[in-house]
C-alpha cells in the first residue's frame, strides 16, 4: 500500500519507528517530515501529508503529534481529507468502516509505540463498508 506519514517534533521519534515498521511490512512510505525533534509547527506537516493523499500519491496517511488532536484539526481543514484521532481499537476500526477515514492521527505523548502499531494495523486492514455510510461520507464532502 502507498502510505504517507508526517509528524511534528513531539511525534518525531514515533514517526521514525512507525515508518521503519511500515517499510518492513512492504509498504511504500512517503515521509513529509519533520526531520528532527526541534520545535516546529504541526499544520505545515499536516498540510503536506494531505496534499500527497489528494494528489493520489498515497492512499492513507498517518499523522503523529503529542496528542493527535492538533494534527486532526489541521488535516480536517483540507477538502477531501477525513482525519480522526485513533487511540483505541473500536474507534480506529469504525472510523475506517463507517467514516472512510483516510488519515489516522496518533498522540505520541498519550500512547505507547506498541499500541500505536496495533492500531495502525487495524486502520490499514479495515475496509470501508459503503452502503448507508457512503451516503453520509458524501454529505461530509458536500
Condensed to tens digits (0 to 9), the pLDDT of residues 57-116 reads: 999 999 999 999 999 999 999 999 999 999 999 999 999 999 999 999 999 999 999 999
pLDDT at 98: 97
Q: What residues are annotated to the active site? A: 65, 98
> Which whole number is the average pLDDT over 29-51?
98
pLDDT at 142: 80
Three-state helix/strand/coil letters over the chain: CEEEEEECHHHHHHHHHHHHHHHHCCCEEEECCCCCCCCCCHHHHHHHHHHHHHCCCCCEEEEEECCCHHHHHHHCCCCCCCEEECCCHHHHHHHHHCCCCCEEEEECCCCCHHHHHHHHHHHHHCCCCCCHHHHHHHHHHC
pLDDT at 3: 98
**Domains in the chain, ordered, with CATH?**
2-141 (3.40.1400.10)
Give the pTM: 0.97
Q: What is the mean pLDDT of the chain?
A: 97
| pLDDT band with cut points at 50, 70 and 90 for residue 141 | confident
> Which whole number is the average pLDDT over 1-29?
98
Amino acid at each position: 500500500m502507498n502510505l504517507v506519514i508526517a509528524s511534528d517534533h513531539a511525534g518525531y521519534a514515533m514517526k521514525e519507528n512507525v515508518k521503519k515498521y511500515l517499510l518492513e511490512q512492504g509498504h511504500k512510505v512517503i515521509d513529509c517530515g519533520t526531520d528532527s525533534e526541534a520545535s516546529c509547527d504541526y499544520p505545515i506537516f499536516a498540510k503536506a501529508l494531505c496534499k500527497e493523499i489528494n494528489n493520489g500519491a498515497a492512499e492513507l496517511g498517518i499523522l503523529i503529534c503529542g496528542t493527535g488532536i492538533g494534527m486532526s484539526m489541521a488535516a480536517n481543514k483540507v477538502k477531501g481529507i477525513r482525519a480522526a484521532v485513533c487511540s483505541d481499537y473500536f474507534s480506529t476500526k469504525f472510523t475506517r468502516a463507517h467514516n472512510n477515514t483516510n488519515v489516522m492521527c496518533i498522540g505520541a505523548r498519550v500512547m505507547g509505540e506498541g499500541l500505536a502499531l496495533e492500531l495502525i494495523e487495524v486502520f490499514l486492514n479495515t475496509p470501508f463498508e459503503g452502503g448507508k455510510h457512503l451516503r453520509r461520507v458524501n454529505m461530509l464532502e458536500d
